[in-house]
Amino acid sequence: MAAPSTPHTAHPPRPDDGPRDHLPWWSVLAGIVSGIVLLAVSGALSLVFSSSSSPLVAVGSAFVDIVPGSLKDLVIGLFGTRDKLVLGISMLVVYAVLTGAAGLLGARRPVLGALILVALGAFAGITVGARAQNTAADLIPTLLGTAVAVPSLLALLRVARASPARVTTAPPSAPPRRAVILGSGVLAAILAVGAQTVAGSREMARRAAQFVLPSPAHRARRIPEDAQIDLAGMPPYLTPNDDFYRIDTALAVPRVDPTSWQLRIGGMVDHELTLDLGQLLAEPMTETHVTLTCVSNTVGGDLAGNATWLGVPVRRLLERAGVQDGADMVLSRSIDGFTASTPLEALTDDRDALIAVGMNGNPLPPEHGYPVRMVVPGLYGYVSATKWLTEMMVTRFADDTAYWTSRGWSDRGPIKTASRIDVPRARARLERDGEGAVVLGGTAWAQHRGITGVQVRIDDGAWKDARLGAEVSTDTWTQWALRWPDAEPGEHTATVRAIDSTGEVQTAEQADPAPNGASGWHSVDFTVT
């Protein structure tokens, strides 16, 4: 098999000429590097367009959307940060294999290598184009990335082929010099892109921080000090924004431009409304404490957080729009195409359902929906808490479904009464105090009904009433503590259950998160010393 000759080759190399083993590896590397060029160039340009115009983000998001709904409790991690990382790494591995193959095949037939790269670019382009929030302009990063990557591949393949053994008559330094020049060009491009990415995200954070919140017309109740149980290891009563759990299908946090943001309210209404951010911020603001919970939370899990939210009551804007008879649902839509179907009555009764702009005294952090999201007390996030909100359509459950409800999750998402042991942690040790007692503590919630009691059982003993921290509102969680006066040293199991204001005792019946939330009692094994 004749290797491709360079212009400098005086004699065609013989089949066994040169270190053939090296040739494919350099070509594979050439393919991978040009693949990186594609991602780097398009990734950098996506800073100018939108996060969803990045091919990596678009392909990953498409994958997330295709995963069947029945897998949601398995892929719950997908929505937590770590499994997003796992998805990203798996995608990069597949991509490295494909671009490596482009290099390998390109070693023999450069056109074939180039075609594979073009095909990858086209696939990415189609995926980018299919994202709900993208416009034709969002294709530009992928197009330009591919346009730069293909000549890079051809150039790198030439370098890979120009191994010293073959270039017999060329000045000996020519191939290395070319390689150095090309290599450093690629490296410089990657570094430039990296720097841009960091600068871009800093700029984003800076802009978010500049947002000035209006002061509330209706202030939230001050949180009494004894809402917080004074016990080491208890979570803070209000969850700091940085520690607030994050669940969404967004691989890259959508970058919403506050200056062009608009909220449309339409569907079964008498008058459609459109508000920009200035108009929304000019509305009288309500401040309220609400505990948010994810339907994917498992018994004892931590996909729940409590914050002080600031926003405009949904009720007021719906009144202004004039909801028509027969409607029973509002389909809210995020800039990235995520939708939630919220029962109309939860948005029009007297609860503090908000179109929120503030979280714990700050503008919403980007990952929690900047600039505007929904917060509805009493409902799981998947049917109510749309982040990066852009649209609310008044409609009927009979006519429309939302992101998760079209994947098998329940239409109605009332939060189940739940309780959790935070102290001690599983398999931890509790040391007896001077009087031989230990203290257990935890959190209970039944949003919009409220917690009226928490009971704890040690081993097979009787249920004992825990002391409750102050109740701030029925929409927030309540902390509890139980002192066990004559704690016996040794291994024990504690179990907790809550009672809500309807008098209902939290069910012992175990259920998985799908389709409408986990149930069962939380137990913790621990040792008294």
Ligand X SMILES: Nc1nc2c(c(=O)[nH]1)N[C@H]1C(S)=C(S)[C@@H](COP(=O)(O)O)O[C@H]1N2
Residues at the contact surface with ligand X, assessed by CB under 6 A = 244-250, 292, 294, 305, 334, 336, 338, 368, 381-382, 385-388
404 versus 526: smaller Cβ distance to ligand X: 404
Smallest distance from ligand X to CB 287, Å: 17
Cβ atoms 288, 357 nearer than 8 A: no
Binding partner at 497 among ligand X, Mo ion, none, C-beta below 5 to 8 Å by kind: none
Q: What angle do CA 195, 201, 203 make, to 5 degrees?
A: 100
Binding partner at 248 among ligand X, Mo ion, none, C-beta below 5 to 8 Å by kind: ligand X
Phi, psi of 304 (to 5 degrees): -145, 145
Binding partner at 378 among Mo ion, ligand X, none, C-beta below 5 to 8 Å by kind: none
Smallest distance from ligand X to CB 140, Å: 24
Three-state helix/strand/coil letters over 7-48: CCCCCCCCCCCCCCCHHHHHHHHHHHHHHHHHHHHHHHHHCC
Distance CA 308, CA 448 (A): 15
Q: What angle do CA 291, 518, 252 make, to 5 degrees?
A: 60
Smallest distance from ligand X to CB 386, Å: 5
Binding site for Mo ion (CB under 5 A): 247, 294, 381-382
17 versus 302: smaller Cβ distance to ligand X: 302
Binding partner at 138 among ligand X, Mo ion, none, C-beta below 5 to 8 Å by kind: none
Closest CA to 39 of 95, 87, 106: 95
Smallest distance from ligand X to CB 235, Å: 15
Phi/psi class of residue 120: alpha, beta or left (left: φ > 0; alpha: ψ in -120 to 50)? alpha
For 189, the token pair is 């491009």
Cβ atoms 525, 419 nearer than 8 A: no
Return the residue nearest ligand X (CB atom).
381
61 versus 495: smaller Cβ distance to Mo ion: 61
Sheet holding 438-445, edge to edge: 418-423, 438-445, 478-484, 467-468
Contacts of 206-214 spanning 24+ positions with Cβ under 8 A: 207/258, 208/363, 208/364, 208/365, 208/366, 208/370, 209/362, 209/363, 211/258, 211/357, 211/363, 211/370, 211/371, 213/310, 213/357, 213/358, 213/361, 213/362, 213/363, 214/281, 214/282, 214/285, 214/310
141 versus 381: smaller Cβ distance to Mo ion: 381
Return the residue nearest Mo ion (CB atom).
294
501 versus 519: smaller Cβ distance to ligand X: 519
Q: Which residues contact 150 (CB under 8 A, 6 or more apart)?
A: 34, 114, 117, 118, 121
Binding partner at 31 among Mo ion, ligand X, none, C-beta below 5 to 8 Å by kind: none
Smallest distance from ligand X to CB 517, Å: 11
Smallest distance from ligand X to CB 281, Å: 20
Smallest distance from ligand X to CB 352, Å: 17
294 versus 421: smaller Cβ distance to Mo ion: 294
Binding partner at 476 among Mo ion, ligand X, none, C-beta below 5 to 8 Å by kind: none
Distance CA 288, CA 308 (A): 6
CA–centroid distance for 95 within its chain: 22
Q: Where are the beta strands (DSSP E) in 284-346?
A: 286-293, 304-313, 329-334, 339-343
Q: Which residues contact 361 (CB under 8 A, 6 or more apart)?
A: 213, 308
95 versus 382: smaller Cβ distance to ligand X: 382
245 versus 480: smaller Cβ distance to ligand X: 245
CB atoms within 10 A of CB 372: 28
Smallest distance from ligand X to CB 388, Å: 5
Smallest distance from ligand X to CB 91, Å: 19
388 versus 521: smaller Cβ distance to ligand X: 388
Smallest distance from ligand X to CB 427, Å: 28
368 versus 492: smaller Cβ distance to ligand X: 368
Smallest distance from Mo ion to CB 250, Å: 13
38 versus 250: smaller Cβ distance to ligand X: 250
Smallest distance from ligand X to CB 369, Å: 6
Binding partner at 409 among Mo ion, ligand X, none, C-beta below 5 to 8 Å by kind: none
H-state helical runs in 67-109: 76-79, 81-108
Closest CA to 358 of 370, 347, 367: 370
Binding partner at 220 among Mo ion, ligand X, none, C-beta below 5 to 8 Å by kind: none
31 versus 337: smaller Cβ distance to ligand X: 337
Distance CA 505, CA 522 (A): 14
Helix (H) or strand (E) holding 461: none
